Structure 1
Amino acid sequence: MPILTTPDVQLHYQTFGDASNPALVFSNSLGTNYGMWQQQFNALKDQFFVVCYDTRGHGASSTPAGPYSLQQLGEDVIQLLDHLQISQAAFCGISMGGLTGQWLAMHYPQRFSHVIVCNTAAKIGQEQAWLDRAALVKTQGLQPIAQTAASRWFTDPFIQSHPSLVSNLQNDLAAGSAEGYAHCCAALAKADVREQLKNITVPMLIIAGQQDLVTTVADAQFMQAQIPNSQLVEIDASHISNVEQPQVFNQSIQNFLQMNACL
């Protein structure tokens, strides 16, 4: 199991495809792990050197003392690129990973040819709500959050037609680190990049789920209006659009990268 060890964190990652191809990094959402990208790395590994990792406090990565910050989440990606000797990559992050992508585009534009942010916002939710959730999981664990996750992540028809897939994702969440989840809630509570969006110069694709009640189409439209070199694609899905509509999601990524000469 590949692990990047830094003074601060042990970051679990996996790579797929030929390292001579253009690099494409995927960043998971809160409460998931790199496995959420299975339908992406299987579809794209012949064209890209795909790099997936577990955000600190998630999956097989370690859970350093918190609370975490958006800067820490972003710096982890830069250290992973350095470790893999990747000078420049495309980046795709969903929800929390999408906020990480915005931060990276602002602070390390030279390291990214393209950034794709999905089902996210420049500020996700309200600070107190995140702090309340962090307090809940610290006292009660992740089971209460996992039991209600499906309705936040997917549309009802998808939940009914893919019960085992949804159950597996819920089980992954329940089995995760409550401490790591809480520390990332703290990062989301403070993360607000709305005023900095206009400074992004990296080509950016924003993917929004038309049925997403967590990070809405309006959130995506705000980002698109603020970011100079950006475009918006809407997908008929809820919050985890890459799992609910993988073919449309993958095609949107490929179209964007091909149009912008990544391939």
Structure 2
Amino acid sequence: MTDLLHTRTDGPEDGPVLVMLGSLGSTLAMWEPNLPALAERFRVVRMDHLGHGASPVPPGPYTMKTLAEAVLATLDALGVDRVHWCGLSLGGMVGMYLGSEHPDRIARLALCCTSAAFPDRSIWRQRIEAVEADGTAPLAPGIVEKWYTPDWAELHPDVVERAVGWVSDSPDAGYKACCEAIEVWDHRDRLGAVAAPTLVIAGDEDRSTPVEPHARTIAEGIPGARLEVLHGGHLATMQSAEETNRLLLEHLA
């Protein structure tokens, strides 16, 4: 049996379902700045990735198919068929996979600060080897440094400290297994199969998945996709939460 993911559900029981899945190294808590506005209208189901947070940590390596099947099994267990999807980074990759390979399950897509492929895979091999050598915790400050712009991070040290904790507390085996899924990820030739109306959100100072080439490739590859660039680092949905919420409510309406 496929492992079921840890979830939290907010909003009206009879509302349209919006699934939110976040970044590598995060937990479902990363969506808290977006939750109040979205949960007024949607039944928001936030998830921890496989190998992350309070979700199970089965042996790796994982593939994007592995991560997506855990999502589908969890939705099935919740009795949910068709959903809107908002995913950031790794969560966006899972959303892309579902959008092309399980189009019947996705009504509308929002893909935030994410990528359809990393031409230079060596960065992921280096991170995998670093986790194997010393675990995830020593990497946390450097990873979170890319999540927010320096000026915003300076004004919100409590947010930064909490985010470092998310990464530090990530199970080493689960984090590594998800890195292995990203290392081999290349969905560029399947973007044209995504039928759901798609909003691509990018951060103007995202050093992990910058607009060029990552967001642009997705927006040009998915038929009819729309690209919006917000101020922020890799977690622009947190840093520019109000603008993100406006775009999501407009797109998902």
TM-score class, shorter-chain normalisation, is over 0.9
**Which ranges of 4 or more aligned residues in structure 1 deviate by more than 6 Å?**
none
Shift of 1:8: 3.5
Question: Matched residues, percent identical?
Answer: 31
Provide the aligned length of Structure 1 versus Structure 2: 252
- Residue of structure 2 equivalent to 1:240: 235
The alignment's TM-score, normalised by the length of structure 1, stands at: 0.93
- Residue of structure 2 equivalent to 1:100: 94
The CA distance in 1 between the partners of 2:201 and 2:231, in whole Å, is 11
- Residue of structure 2 equivalent to 1:58: 52
- Residue of structure 2 equivalent to 1:116: 110
- Residue of structure 1 equivalent to 2:188: 194
The alignment's TM-score, normalised by the length of structure 2, stands at: 0.96
1:90 aligns to what SS in structure 2?
Answer: strand
Contact 1:197 1:223 in 2 (8 A): yes
Contact 1:28 1:54 in 2 (8 A): yes
- Residue of structure 2 equivalent to 1:37: 31
Can you give the 5+ residue segments of structure 1 that lack an aligned partner in the other structure?
1-6, 259-263
The CA distance in 1 between the partners of 2:170 and 2:79, in whole Å, is 30
The CA distance in 1 between the partners of 2:4 and 2:94, in whole Å, is 18
Can you give the 5+ residue segments of structure 2 that lack an aligned partner in the other structure?
none
The CA distance in 2 between the partners of 1:13 and 1:256, in whole Å, is 24
Task: Please tell me whether residue 215 in structure 1 is matched to residue 219 in structure 2.
Answer: no
- Residue of structure 2 equivalent to 1:141: 135
The CA distance in 2 between the partners of 1:125 and 1:147, in whole Å, is 25
- Residue of structure 2 equivalent to 1:70: 64
1:92 aligns to what SS in structure 2?
Answer: strand
- Residue of structure 1 equivalent to 2:157: 163
Shift of 1:212: 0.8
- Residue of structure 2 equivalent to 1:185: 179
2:126 aligns to what SS in structure 1?
Answer: helix
Shift of 1:129: 2.0
Task: Please tell me whether residue 228 in structure 1 is matched to residue 223 in structure 2.
Answer: yes
- Residue of structure 1 equivalent to 2:73: 79
Change beyond 3 A, Cα 1:79–1:10? closer
Change beyond 3 A, Cα 1:35–1:110? same
**Could you list the per-position Cα deviations for residues 129-182 of structure 1 after superposition, in whole angstroms to 9, with x for gaps in the alignment?**
212211211220122211212321110111100001111110121112011100
1:52 aligns to what SS in structure 2?
Answer: strand
